[in-house]
Amino acid sequence: MTDRVRTPVSIVIPAHNQLHYCRQCIESIRAHTRYPYKLILVDNGSTDGVSEYFDSVPDAIVIHSETNLGFPAGVNLGLAHASGHVLLLNSDTIVPEDWLDRLVAVLERGQRIGIVGPMSNHVSGPQLIPDMALTSMDEINDVANNRAKGFAGQTLDVERVVGFCMLIRDTAFAAVGKMDESFGIGNFEDDDYCLRVRKAGYRVCIAEDCFVFHYGSRTFSALGFDNEAFDALIARNEETFNQKWGTASGVSRAQQVAAGLLVEADRLEREGRNAAAIAKIKDAIAMAPYHAPAFYQLGLLLLRLGNKPQAIEQFRRAVRLDPSHDDASTQLAALAPNPKSEIQNPQ
């Protein structure tokens, strides 16, 4: 960064319980953030000490809600106090050295870049760096520094970035406003926000040289969401999203791309290139994480390869995402006559 005046960033962190993760997140911000920022903490109906801890954080703006309003509404409580650029951050993240400088550097490359997100170890879509097992702050910093060197200045234009860590330009926030609270407890509010920003004429980008560690789904787990309940929540919110946007939605376009990848996967399988076919199906899932046909096709391929337990899991996921997927339901009925018991004990 140069010596010119820099637009400050309001970091908004909503949290419902999970005190241990909140401490790790905020301590990492305070230790590793040189870029000017304002910390806005939203206690979203916590009962395990998060409220008191937030009140103890020096120089933070703290907002308390007596009940858990859900992620979008919790974020909105914080956004009411935001100024400058806005960064939405999940409380189960750990940020490494110079993370915010790298995100802002991408944002400031062009006036029409409206949203920037980092790479991560636990995220859907093209932001994912797979197969990472990190156990210390030193390891997280090493990954981040190596990523910064190996991908310096590289960005990727996408339709959406995941809201676990989302930097929003000040003018884009002014144009688009707060999050849509109709998505309830959460999921798809980030897809919705990215689409609204793109419709306002801005780009959405991934900073490929920035890494942020993410535990993932801690709040949902604490709220009692098992795999079945979580998939049902995703399905409901996807329906809300599609009712709002119809075929103009980013998810619909992503599903079109995913469908093309599945056609390629089918061709590869017919050629006997099973490993390449599986990789192509995984690309489709990364592009459209809620696209039931991708999981169904993966289940069929795994079944043909003799991996019945994993095939059952993929058919089960397809049915959760789309209960009307008759082929997946038929496979489950044949392979797992008592699917309820398997859902309670997922592999």
Mean per-residue pLDDT of the chain: 86
**Phi and psi for 208 in degrees, rounded to 5?**
-70, -10
CB atoms within 10 A of CB 129: 14
Helical ranges in 177-273 per DSSP H: 189-199, 218-222, 227-245, 250-270
Is pLDDT of 346 > 50? no
Residue 1 lies in a domain: no
Q: What is the CATH number of the domain that holds 335?
A: 1.25.40.10
Q: Are 118 and 246 found together in one domain? A: no
Is pLDDT of 76 > 90? yes
Question: DSSP for 108-146?
Answer: TT-TTEEEEEEEBSS-SGGGB--S----SHHHHHHHHHH
Q: Are 148 and 294 found together in one domain? A: no
Residue 335 lies in a domain: yes
44-70 pLDDT, tens per residue? 999 999 999 999 999 999 999 999 888
Residue of 152, 157, 200 lying closest to 177 (CA atoms): 200
Q: How many CA atoms, within 13 angstroms, populate the side-chain half-sphere of residue 327?
A: 10
107-119 pLDDT, tens per residue? 998 888 999 999 9
Q: What is the DSSP letter of 323?
A: T
Q: Are 75 and 128 found together in one domain? A: yes
pLDDT number for residue 237: 66
* Domain end point (choices 176, 197, 221): 221
Q: What is the CATH number of the domain that holds 64?
A: 3.90.550.10
What domain range is 281 assigned to? 230-344
**How many angstroms separate the Cα of 340 from the Cα of each of 269, 318, 344?**
31, 15, 6
Q: Are 255 and 202 found together in one domain? A: no
Amino acid in the structure at residue 30: R
Q: What is the CA radius of gyration of the chain?
A: 21
* Domain end point (choices 172, 190, 221): 221
**Phi and psi for 15 in degrees, rounded to 5?**
-145, 140
Q: Are 267 and 157 found together in one domain? A: no
pLDDT number for residue 125: 75
Residue 4 lies in a domain: no
187 versus 80: the higher-pLDDT residue is 80
Instruction: Determine contact, residues 9/211, Cβ cutoff 8 Å.
Output: no
Q: Are 213 and 240 found together in one domain? A: no
- Planar angle of CA 51, 56, 57, nearest 5 degrees: 105
Looking up tokens 């790790």, which residue turns up? Answer: 24
The pLDDT of 62-83, averaged and rounded, is 93
Domain count, the chain: 2
